[in-house]
Amino acid sequence: MSIPEVVTAQWRHDFAPHGVPIPVLPDGCRDLICVQVRGLAPRWMVTPLFDHAHLPRLACAETRMIGYRLHPDVRLDQGALLGAVAGRDPDDRVAVEAALAAHACRDPALAEALACLADAPRPLVQSARQCGLSLRSLQRLVGERSGRPPVFWHQLARIRRAGRMLGGERSLAEVALCAGFADQAHLSRACRRWFGLSPARLARAPELRWQLGQPGYDGMGTGEQSSTR
């Protein structure tokens, strides 16, 4: 089944009893999520744009989450969307996708601006010129339409790019240079600030680096995901 235009990935996580939650790394996307706990009614929510790694809040170990990850350039009426899916069974994809189609849409101008910011490392003023905008206009457009300033997107794209390179054949200095950091120390500070751990620890955490290869800001494709934790 095809996924709605506003959705970059659909996912499902089943948290097994005695399982240890894995931190969720920031990906530049908001998610429409249904939380199901055995014996309770489904609860829907829309996540914010996280700027740090976070642990999912679970009511109990036997929790299932079903999510629709939205493209970074999506604008939505959050109240109307949550009202439309309230009480819905998350397996009723027709109803959920109809709600998304009615209350969320992609913003072409925002998409272009975010693409410029995610491009190869460059100063923000050069990203603005690539979009045909002044820096002030870029700041206004991105800030008003995404809720986050351009520097948020610029830094997020850079650290996600670096994170995907870790654990390979490149040295830490080479990763820092390729991703647009001034040096290894700059990369290390950014990694701790965004992901909560050092580059060395991230390189040894395949379950976290796997997240960086999933759909998110700076474009890693679309698809469906599932996991049991």
User: Which residue intervals of 131-168 are DSSP H helices?
Assistant: 135-146, 150-165
Contact 27, 216 (CB under 8 A): yes
pLDDT, tens digit, 9 for 90 and up, residues 109-157: 999 999 999 986 788 999 999 999 999 999 999 999 999 999 999 999 9
Of the listed ranges 3-17, 24-38, 185-199, the one predicted with least confidence: 3-17
pLDDT, tens digit, 9 for 90 and up, residues 48-90: 999 999 987 765 666 889 999 999 999 999 999 999 999 999 9
- CATH architecture group of domain 108-212: Orthogonal Bundle (1.10)
- Where in the sequence of the chain do the CATH 1.10.10.60 domains occur? 108-212
* Greatest alpha-carbon span in the chain: 55
What is the pLDDT, as a whole number, of residue 221?
42
Beta strands in 20-150 (DSSP E): 31-37, 43-46, 63-70, 74-76, 104-106
Whether 222 has a pLDDT exceeding 60, the answer reads: no
